Amino acid sequence: MLDGETASIIQHFGINVMGVDASLSVMEGAKAAIKSLETFFYETLGLKSRLSDLGIDDKNFAAMARKACGTEGILHGLTDLTPSDVEAIFRMCL
């Protein structure tokens, strides 16, 4: 979801929450924010990074994606996601 529209929001989060260097360009700051959050989740907290590590396979991804998008069929956030977008994200997380 990192693109020209979302980079400044992610950079702002990185500077204010993750301590990212404010002198970095917007895109580099956003990338540093994502890396810092990844490090916090997977190294500091020790969370699992793959759905397969939790014993989750892809057999229910389509239903899970539809449920995540609700009756409107869109998951709203920094970028709106359709059920097929959500399902693709789940597959990337195996």
User: What pLDDT is attached to residue 39?
Assistant: 97
pLDDT band at 78 (very low <50, low <70, confident <90, very high): confident
Give the CA radius of gyration of the chain: 15
pLDDT at 1 over 90: no
Cβ(58)–Cβ(93) below 8 Å = no
pLDDT of residue 90: 97
Q: What would the mean pLDDT of 48-77 be, rounded to a whole number?
A: 96
Other Cβ atoms less than 10 A from the Cβ of 88: the count is 14
Check pLDDT > 90 for residue 18. yes
